[in-house]
Amino acid sequence: MALAHSKSHFHSLQYLSIITIIILILFIQTSIATSPLYHICSNSQNFTTNSPYERNLNNLLGDLYLKTPPTGFGLSSTAQSYADRAYGMSLCRGDISKSNCTACVVEASSEILKRCPNNRGAIIWYDNCLLKYSDIDFFGEIDTRNRFYMWNLQNVSTNGTHDQAFNQRTRELLSNLSNEACGSTKMFANGEVELISSMKIYGMVQSSRDLSSVDCKRCIDDAISELPVCCEGRQGGRVVGGSCNIRYEIYPFLNL
């Protein structure tokens, strides 16, 4: 009896822990899929609850939700009066499907309001999209204020000559992609190049489509010139800004 009891107790514990592990895995996967890369609450001014700015911002986010998925890019501004105008932009990564773009914009809208409550300007980045709003008109201007870097902790090799070639080929690939992206309406390009010993470098560049072709190129080339700050010799790196971003890895990372 005691044995049976402890046995069944053991079984139910084991059963419980398997469920717990499955729930944990699901939780971790969901949080990885949806957690932002970074955010910046960019304005020192706050708005108050139920203010005209709050209503405009909510309308703006609703508008971006409708506008963005069909093309992967949305610009919107809403106002009741000039002083309360809100300007917003959202941009999905060039390879992202409409449904994943929608999901990302929805997630970004709700998350940015939580992370920057009542802030009149903010930006949030995900793997799949970025969302930005402000009470200042930023359309058509290169965002030089909001920027961050990410890199792979692994280095390419400890062999100096190999590193040089790797860095040079990476820059060359991204510069070529910059030309391609900024000459196209989507302002997105991806590609790959084979390095020695069958190692490939995969790259991607993207600019927001409110920039002119010249500013697209200026923004992306500037990001490429930042690679020594974060990423030289690393197996992967990203320079991510409010107007454009670049990324390279030694594995394919797009949903193509």
Ligand X SMILES: *[C@@H]1O[C@H](CO)[C@@H](O)[C@H](O)[C@H]1NC(C)=O
* Residue ranges that bind ligand X, judged by CB under 6 A: 44-46, 97, 99-100, 117-118, 153-155, 159, 161-162, 169, 172-173, 176, 193, 196, 233, 255
**Closest CB 210 distance from ligand X, rounded Å:** 25
DSSP state of 128: S
Give the type of residue at 163.
D
**Closest CB 45 distance from ligand X, rounded Å:** 6
Q: Which residue is nearest to ligand X (CB)?
A: 97
User: Which of 75, 105 has the CB closer to ligand X?
Assistant: 105
**Closest CB 203 distance from ligand X, rounded Å:** 9
User: Which of 233, 242 has the CB closer to ligand X?
Assistant: 233
Tokens at residue 241, please? 């800004």
Distance CA 217, CA 211 (A): 9
User: Which of 81, 99 has the CB closer to ligand X?
Assistant: 99
User: Which of 147, 169 has the CB closer to ligand X?
Assistant: 169
CA distances 12 to 2, 23, 27, Å, are 15, 16, 22
**Closest CB 14 distance from ligand X, rounded Å:** 32
DSSP string, 47-113: --TT-HHHHHHHHHHHHHHHHHHHHTEEEEEE-SSGGG-EEEEEEE-TT--HHHHHHHHHHHHHHHH
